[in-house]
Structure 1
Amino acid sequence: MNQSAARNRHFDRLVNTEGLKWLGQNTNHYPVHPSVKAAMIACLDKEEFHAYAPPLGLEALRAGIVADLGLDGMEAMVTDGAVSGLYHVCHTFCRPGDRFVTTDPTWAWPMSFARSVGAEVVQLPIYGDEYGFRLDPERLRAAVDERTRMIYIVDPNNPIGSTQTAEEIEAIAEIARSVDAVLVHDCTYRDFAYDHHLAARHYPEKTITTWSFSKWLGLAGLRVGALVAAPDMIETLAAAPPNNLGSSILAQRGALAGLAAKAEWFPAVLESQRANQRLVKEAFDALPGFRLPVFPSSGNFLVIETVEAGIRPEALCAVMARHGVMIRQGSYHTKTFGDRFIKVSVTVPTEWVETFCRLLPEAVEEARGLNEEIALF
């Protein structure tokens, strides 16, 4: 069996595992606001799905996204999830021989997209106390040159959960402008942050802000996200998108209702996931050798270092999977640092987190002796 088929079967098993506790994909499993479900049911009842959606998205949704970000003067392009937008950005602006500069760790797929069109990917390490788990703008400045076509920053960082300061974001924007690079500011986890600053406010002409409804609203399986940029950038992206017949009308109706209910619904989600973070920290604090290097996290997830505990990340993931709990091994995010940590997602029912914490001491001991090759994706 080839790698792609094995990977697909792995995730097919996960999706079809009844009662699986999803603590690994940063997905939001809280019940949606009733208005979101009602909007999608109304869309189905009216059978709106017979017609294509507008190519850039419903006008009300486009306006709502821009307003939520507070980026007046920008335009939004609704995409089939943020990942489709990132694919389109890389294929539109990167060319053979260009440099694509990002961090390590980062989200892996945009690097694959850039490499697929012949760009050189440069990763700047940020994992470790020596880096403060953030990108130092001066290290970025030393890494860019006239060949740098794109700078990609995930902020808050996935998987670390750190955020860049206001001063760092302003400096990163200035560095991108100095080499005339496209700055892609991936803000997928912005809504979970304690403090967050948008690069587009400093470099509006060439910053593309990517945003998703998968995480804060919990619409991961519906695939709806957005690119937000200056009108001329959106015009360029609109010329040859991967989907020129519009994203799912069902997903867009749900997303629009979610924006309308956000102020009422999301604060409770935010507080619940932060409470879940505290439960996870307490559980690991009670065990020797584990460390949470970034706490609290500005994402809806936590990194837990396993090195001093003598536990392989893959082993602990495999043991938890036997108990119906999915968590993520660090190697999914980074080859360089992946043997140091696991990642646990916490926008889930508290009972799931309590089950994970209850299983943890026994799972750690079971994982300690597990050394065989483990295939995870």
Structure 2
Amino acid sequence: MTSRAQSKGIHGMAASFEQLLASPDIIWMGQNTTHLAPPRAVVEAMEESLAAREFQLYAPPGGFAELRELVVEDLGRAGFDAWITDGAVAGLHQICTVLGGEVSRLITTDPGWPWPGRFLGRSGIPVSALDVYENPGRTLRAEQVAAVIEPRSIIYLIDPLNPLGSRYGRDELEAIVALARETDSYIVHDCTYRHFASGHTLVADLSPDRTFTTYSFSKWLGLAGMRLGAVVARPELLASIMAVPANPLGSSIVGQRGAIAGLRGREPWLEYVRSVNRANIDRVEAVVAETGLGEVVVPGSHGNFLAVDVSGSGLLADDVCERLLDEANVFIRPGTYQSPRFGERFVKISTSVPTEWVERFADAWRALALEPVR
């Protein structure tokens, strides 16, 4: 087993992924990635690429034209363009790096995804990480944005919100878009988990001229290790940030071949992965209620994960994660990675995983609930 001392890395409690990879029976429920066996067509496309030794070639700088077109089609954004990046986070880095010299402030959430704040912080841009944990609906409210926004800010919206699973309603987005227009601000709409949400609205539908949409293949298609994502925007807006890309030699050809196959056959796959994910969410919610260990923060999460508040148990989030890892080889994530204010209160549990993994998690959660608080 991996001890807490062994597993501490650059993210505090976050276990070293290299050490976790060395454990063959680890239950991966801490990264929000899909661990279901991928569609056969996706695997075959990558195998054919490997057999053809395409890995010895550089890819087109912006990604294969077909893949870019399929991403735009998947988002329903005719007339837009996509730039394929080394994961969605590389797209975020590119946006922050290019805009860092002209924007005044980043507005983001706590909890949220910390990296855009870190990217822009290196340029001296102030960051307002606004509390959503205690808000109704667990989303950012327009009045919070209004209190801090400055001309030419960036509003970073993760939707559905990692790590809580909340989703923005159209009315909420319209109010935030109005503030962005008034202040000549940009919106970065992080749609990493969009494929798991019902009733999702794209900010680009409401504000096409000032919105960057980021897109991922790690979550819905399970290609996390291939490092493949995209930035989508109006062609002239996209060109303004991608003229000097961090990677001018293109993202993984092998991964792009798999992504093309996945998007070609996405409807049956999405129906399957959503059904498994929803059943797993229901199962995790049931075991949390059954044991009384914690409380689900956003019931019926719109993502492929659940946040569970454990603050009433006498345990800290890091303690819960440590004990599940040490005692059952179940890897989940503490909120401390994504929230400096509320992180010790909750853990995050990934759900687009095999059903047997969820049963292993359920057994471990029950066992933890029966143990005395140390």
**TM-score bracket relative to the smaller structure:** over 0.9
Q: How do residues 232-311 of structure 1 correspond to structure 2 at under 5 angstroms?
A: 232-288=236-292, 290-311=294-315
Contact 2:67–2:256 under 8 Å retained in 1: yes
- Paired letter, 1:64: L
Among candidates 12, 27, 35, match of residue 29 of structure 1: 35
Stretches of 4+ moved more than 6 A in 1? 5-9
Indicate how the Cα distance of structure 1 residues 287 and 208 shifts in structure 2: closer, same or farther if over 3 A, else same: same
Does residue 100 (structure 1) correspond to residue 106 (structure 2)? The answer is: yes
- 2:67 equivalent in structure 1: 61
* TM-aligned CA distance change 1:101 to 1:8, over 3 Å: closer
SS at match of 1:244: coil
Q: Is the 8 A contact 2:103 2:154 kept in 1?
A: no
List per-residue Cα deviations over 1:75-100 (Å, max 9, x = no partner): 10000000111011000001388211
Tell me, in whole angstroms, the C-alpha distance in 2 between the residues paired with 1:234 and 1:367. Answer: 55
Task: Single out whichever of 301-310 and 54-63 deviates more from structure 2.
Answer: 301-310
* Residues 174, 202 of structure 1: 8 Å contact kept: no
* Residues in 2 aligned to 1:275 and 1:200: alpha-carbon distance in whole angstroms: 31
Amino acid at match of 2:338: H
**TM-score when scaled to structure 2?**
0.94
Change in CA separation of 1:342 and 1:170 when aligned onto 2, cut-off 3 Å:
same
Rounded to whole Å, the distance in 2 between the matches of 1:252 and 1:54 is 11
Aligned twin of 1:142: 147
Paired residues for 1:163-178 under 5 Å: 163-178=167-182
Spell out, residue by residue over 1:18-67, the C-alpha distance to the aligned partner (whole angstroms, 9 max, x if none): 11110111010001100000100111111122221111110000000000
Q: Does structure 1 retain, via aligned residues, the 8 Å contact 2:112–2:161?
A: yes
Q: Secondary structure at the match of 1:132?
A: helix
AA matched with 1:206: R
Q: For the Cα contact (< 8 Å) 2:13–2:318, is it kept in 1?
A: no
Q: Which residue of 2 aligns with 1:374?
A: none
Instruction: Give the partner amino acid of 1:347.
Output: S
Is 1:211 equivalent to 2:215 in the alignment? yes
Q: 1:8 Cα deviation (Å)? A: 9.5
Structure 1 residues 359 and 265: alpha-carbon distance in aligned structure 2, compared to 1, 3 A threshold: same
115-124 or 209-218, which deviates more: 115-124
Pair 1:45-2:51 in alignment: yes
Q: Measure, in 2, the Cα distance between the counterparts of 1:18 and 1:107.
A: 29
Q: Work out whether residues 316 and 367 of structure 1, in 8 Å CA contact, stay in contact via their aligned partners in 2.
A: no
Point out where structure 2 has 5 or more consecutive residues left out of the alignment.
1-5
Aligned with residue 355 of structure 1, among 352, 355, 360: 360
The change in CA–CA distance for 1:97 and 1:206 in structure 2 (over 3 A counts) is closer
Distance 2:110 2:224 in 1: 24
Q: Which amino acid aligns with 2:228?
A: V
Identify which range, 357-366 or 180-189, moves more after superposition: 357-366
User: In structure 2, how many angstroms separate the alpha carbons of the residues matched to 1:143 and 1:367?
Assistant: 44
User: Do 2:32 and 2:304's aligned partners in 1 also have CA atoms closer than 8 Å?
Assistant: yes
**1:7, distance to aligned residue in structure 2 (A):** 8.6
| Equivalent position amino acid for 1:47 in 2 | R
The equivalent of 1:85 in structure 2 is 91
CA distance in 1, matches of 2:238, 2:103: 24
Whole-Å separation in 2 of the counterparts to 1:7 and 1:311: 14
Aligned positions, number: 367
Alpha-carbon offset, residue 224 of structure 1: 0.4
- Give 2:117's match in structure 1, choosing from 95, 111, 117: 111
Equivalents in 1 of 2:281, 2:29: separation in Å? Answer: 12
Return the offset for 1:294.
0.8
Q: Match for 1:330: what amino acid?
A: G
Match 2:324 to one of 320, 324, 327: 320
Unpaired runs of 5+ residues, structure 1, are 370-377
Q: Distance in 2 between matches of 1:318 and 1:367?
A: 15
Structure-2 separation of matches of 1:236 and 1:153: 21
Structure-1 separation of matches of 2:70 and 2:284? 35
Selected match of 1:16 from 18, 22, 27: 22
Secondary structure of the structure 2 residue equivalent to 1:286? helix
Q: Which amino acid aligns with 1:61?
A: L
* CA distance in structure 2 between the aligned counterparts of 1:5 and 1:293, rounded to whole angstroms: 23
Q: Secondary structure at the match of 1:152?
A: strand
Q: Distance in 1 between matches of 2:194 and 2:62?
A: 23
Larger displacement relative to structure 2 (296-305 or 135-144): 135-144
Query: Are the equivalent residues in 2 in contact too, given 1:61–1:256 (CA < 8 A)?
Result: yes
Distance 1:314 1:90 in 2: 30
Measure the CA separation in 2 of the matches of 1:365 and 1:39.
Answer: 47
Give the direction of change, closer, same or farther, for the CA distance of 1:299–1:97 in structure 2 (3 Å limit): closer
Identity in percent: 40
SS of the residue corresponding to residue 250 of structure 2 reads coil
SS at match of 1:205: coil
What amino acid does structure 2 have at the position aligned with 1:253? R
Moved more, 243-252 or 229-238: 229-238
Structure 1 residue 162: Cα displacement = 0.3
Please give the alpha-carbon distance, in whole angstroms, between the structure 1 residues aligned to 2:104 and 2:171.
27
CA contact (8 A) 2:13 2:334 kept: no
* CA displacement 1:243-296 (0-9 Å, x = unmatched): 001101001000000001111212111011110011111111012352112110
Does the CA-based 8 Å contact 1:96-1:119 persist in structure 2? Answer: no
Alpha-carbon shift at residue 176 of structure 1 (Å): 1.2
> Does the 8 Å contact 2:99/2:241 carry over to 1?
no
The 1:367/1:36 distance shift into structure 2, 3 A limit, reads: farther
